[in-house]
Amino acid sequence: MEFRWLSRKELSLLKEIDRKELVDEVYYIRNHELRLVKEYYDIDGWLESELALYTQRLESIFDRDGIIIGAFEKDHIVGLVSLESYLINGRTMKLDMLYVSHDYRHKGLGRRLVDIISQEANELGAKELYISATPVRNTVDFYLRLGAELANPPDIYLFELEPLDIHLILPI
* Amino acid code (one letter) for 153: P
What percentage of the chain reaches a pLDDT higher than 90? 98
Indicate the pLDDT class of residue 145, thresholds 50, 70 and 90: very high
Tell me the average pLDDT across 19-38: 95
Q: What is the pLDDT of residue 32?
A: 86
CA nearest neighbour of 32 among 153, 158, 161: 153
Q: Cα(15)–Cα(159) distance, rounded to whole angstroms? A: 26
* Coil, strand or helix at 92: strand
Q: Which amino acid is at 65?
A: D
User: Is pLDDT of 80 > 90?
Assistant: yes
Q: How far apart are CA 122 and CA 48, in angstroms?
A: 34
pLDDT at 66: 97
Q: Quick one: pLDDT at residue 11?
A: 97
| Per-residue pLDDT tens over the stretch 31-58 | 889 999 999 999 999 999 999 999 999 9
- The pLDDT of 144-157, averaged and rounded, is 96
Please write the tens of the pLDDT for every residue from 92-135.
Answer: 999 999 999 999 999 999 999 999 999 999 999 999 999 999 99
Check residues 32 and 144 and name the one with the higher pLDDT.
Answer: 144
> What is the dihedral sign for C-alpha 61, 54, 126, 161?
positive
Give 4-13 pLDDT, tens digit per residue.
Answer: 999 999 999 9
Q: Which fold has domain 2-171?
A: Aminopeptidase (3.40.630)
pLDDT at 94: 98
Neighbour count for residue 27 (Cβ, 10 Å): 22
